[in-house]
């Protein structure tokens, strides 16, 4: 494969100038909205531009984290917005040079592990808040394929990412369906046969509220953030919404994963995994309570994070989690709910497994295509 030896700064526009108009609304994309493994990040909210600091970008630009450990973990995505946007100061913005690099190819160029490793080696600053040096990144040398080859490489790799994106949309839809079923039956009390059931103290007769601490032990992981391994085999749940990987596991169960600080999110996972020291791992004594507990905790998160005085709380304590009230219905209805949720969860797990396999295949192809070991 014919290539040209070139510096990154000569083939890619790095933090290109983007002119914004004061008072106009633009897409806002913070670093925490970028999901590791997903190619695209879409508009999450709109913000009025008033001259505030932050990176500025256009639709199709590649956004890459410059701060540790987000850079090493591969936090990057292509902005998929209507026009222009504003983002975190912790993001680099990269764009193709017309006639030199293909727009789609730029994303895969920076997705290469060795490029990110070199960028990480340029980091300076206080421990835990180190940032890559853009001047150093611009000087990185690489063998750049000719433009038609770049286009073909990007096209092949994009096929995998589009399959992952389609699966992810299906997963989100299934999650929403399960959440809506929970709310319909256990919040609005419109479950099958509800018309014939008497209400007593605000609940269907025979139902009760139980503190979550009575239903499940409250434990946390033991590992720190540095335990993550990009090529690990097992899920490593931290307080970030993004899933990391680890080389070993401490848990093998069906569990609710609740971040104790950071993004303060909740997940449901079945299998072998590792957990960060501020991440709660919750497995009810009676596994039949797992779905109803998960969706209750999910719906209660916003309320939990606002204190009595209206101040936003930035972390969850064991005591707060123990006091979450879980509605416990009659066993017959709970059984019906679990059967429906089991089927829903199984489909999601299969789609997640497909995405994991697709991502591995893409990541194996990436260096071979870039090096010319595979002809295109």
pLDDT (tens digit, 9 = 90+) per residue, 352-371? 999 989 999 999 999 999 99
Asked whether residue 364 is domain-assigned, the answer is no
pLDDT value at 311 more than 60? no
Q: Which whole number is the average pLDDT over 113-129? A: 87
pLDDT, mean over the chain: 92
Record the tokens describing residue 266, joined without a space. Answer: 């909740």
pTM for this prediction: 0.86
- Which residues share a beta bridge with 48? 25
129 and 178: one domain? no
pLDDT of residue 43: 72
Residue 352 falls inside a structural domain: no
Residue 87 belongs to a domain: yes
The answer to whether residue 158 scores a pLDDT higher than 80 is: yes
111 and 223 fall within a common domain: no
In a domain, 274, yes or no: yes
Instruction: Judge if 178 and 275 occupy the same domain.
Output: yes
- Res 7 pLDDT > 70: yes
What are the tens digits of pLDDT across the range 235-282? 999 988 877 889 999 999 999 999 998 778 899 999 999 999 999 999
Q: Is residue 164 part of a domain?
A: no
Whether residue 63 sits in one domain with residue 9:
yes
Is 306 found in the same domain as 178? Answer: yes
Same domain, 82 and 134: yes
Residue 3: predicted pLDDT: 85
Same domain, yes or no: 137 and 40: yes
Percent of the chain with pLDDT over 90: 78
191 and 139, same domain (yes or no): no
* Residue 157 located in a structural domain: no
Q: Is 23 left (phi over 0), alpha (psi -120 to 50) or beta?
A: left
What is the structure's pLDDT at 312?
A: 63
For residue 63, pLDDT beyond 60: yes
Residue 359 maps to a domain:
no
Identify the band that residue 302 occupies on the pLDDT scale cut at 50, 70 and 90. confident
Residue 197 clears pLDDT 90, i.e. is over it: yes
Rounded distance between C-alpha atoms, residue 312 and residue 223, angstroms: 27
SS (H, E, C) the chain: CCEEEEEHHHHEEECCCCCCCCCCEEEEECHHHCCCCCCEEECCEEEECCCCCCEEEECCCEEEECECCCCCCCCEEEEECCCEEEECCCEEEEEECCCCCCHHHHHHHHHCHHHHHHHHHCCECCCCCCECCHHHHHHCEEEEECHHHHHHHHHHHHHHHHHHHHHHHHHHHHHHHHHHHHHHHHCCCCCCCHHHCCEECCEECCCEEEEHHHHCCCEECCECHHHCCCCCCEEEECCCCCCEEECCCCEEEEEEEEECECCCCEEEEEEEEEEECCEEEECCCCHHHHHHHHHHHHHHHHHHCECCCCCECCECCHHHHHCCEEEECCHHHHHHHHHHHHHHHHHHHHHHHHHHHHHHHHHHHHHHHHHCCCCC
Q: What CATH number has the domain bearing residue 246?
A: 3.90.220.20
Based on the domain organization, do 337 and 208 belong to the same domain? yes
The mean pLDDT value for 39-65 works out to 92
For range 106-112, the mean pLDDT: 96
Number of domains in the chain: 2
Q: Is residue 163 part of a domain?
A: no
| CA distance linking residue 276 with residue 156, whole number of Å | 36
More confident residue, 216 or 231: 216
Confidence (pLDDT) at 244? 85
Q: pLDDT (tens digit, 9 = 90+) per residue, 313-341?
A: 678 999 999 999 999 999 999 999 999 99
Could you check whether the bond before residue 69 is cis, i.e. omega within 30 degrees of 0? yes
Confidence band for 139, pLDDT divided at 50, 70 and 90: very high
Query: What does the alpha-carbon distance between residue 350 and residue 256 come to, in Å, rounded to a whole number?
Result: 18
The residue range of the domain holding 95 is 3-144
The predicted pLDDT at position 309 comes to 45
Highest mean pLDDT among 71-85, 219-233, 326-340 belongs to 326-340
Instruction: Let me know whether 77 and 12 are in one domain.
Output: yes
140 and 187 housed in the same domain: no
Rg of the chain over CA atoms, in angstroms? 23
Measured distance CA(103)–CA(105) in Å, rounded? 5
Predicted local distance difference test score (pLDDT) of residue 313: 65
Query: What pairing do the DSSP bridges indicate for beta strands 266-275 and 234-237?
Result: parallel
106 and 69 share one domain: yes
């Amino acid at each position: 494969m014919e290539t040209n030896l070139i510096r990154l700064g000569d083939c890619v526009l790095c933090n290109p100038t983007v002119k914004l108009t004061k008072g106009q609304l633009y897409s806002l994309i913070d670093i925490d909205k970028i999901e590791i493994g997903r190619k695209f990040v879409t508009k999450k909210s709109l913000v009025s531009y008033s001259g505030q600091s932050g990176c500025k970008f256009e639709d199709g630009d590649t956004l890459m984290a410059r701060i540790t450990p987000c850079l090493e973990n591969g936090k990057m995505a292509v902005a998929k917005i209507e026009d222009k946007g504003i983002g975190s100061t912790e993001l680099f913005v990269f764009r193709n040079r017309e006639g030199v690099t293909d727009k789609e190819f730029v994303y895969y160029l920076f997705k290469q592990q060795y490029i990110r490793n070199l960028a990480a080696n340029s980091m300076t600053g206080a421990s835990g808040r180190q940032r890559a040096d853009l001047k150093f990144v611009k000087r990185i040398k690489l063998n750049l394929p000719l433009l038609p080859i770049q286009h073909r490489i990007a096209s092949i790799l994009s096929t995998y990412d589009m399959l992952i994106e389609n699966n992810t949309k299906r997963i989100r839809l299934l999650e929403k369906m399960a959440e809506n079923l929970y709310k319909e039956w256990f919040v609005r009390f419109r479950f099958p046969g509800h018309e014939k059931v008497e209400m007593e103290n605000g609940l269907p007769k025979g139902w009760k509220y139980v503190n979550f601490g009575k239903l499940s032990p409250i434990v946390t992981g033991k590992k720190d953030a540095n335990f993550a391994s990009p090529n690990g085999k097992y899920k490593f749940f931290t307080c970030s919404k993004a899933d990391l990987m680890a080389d070993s596991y401490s848990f093998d169960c069906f569990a609710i994963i609740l971040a104790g600080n950071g993004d303060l999110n909740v997940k449901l996972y079945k299998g072998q995994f590792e957990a960060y020291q501020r991440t709660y791992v919750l497995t009810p004594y009676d596994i039949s309570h797992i779905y109803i507990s998960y969706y209750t905790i999910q719906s209660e998160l916003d309320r939990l994070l606002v204190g009595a005085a209206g101040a936003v709380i930035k972390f969850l304590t064991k005591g707060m989690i123990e006091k979450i009230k879980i509605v416990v219905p009659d066993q017959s209805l709970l059984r019906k709910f679990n059967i429906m949720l089991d089927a829903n969860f199984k489909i999601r797990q299969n789609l997640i497994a497909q995405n994991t396999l697709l991502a591995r295949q893409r990541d194996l192809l990436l260096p071979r295509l870039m090096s010319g070991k595979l002809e295109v």
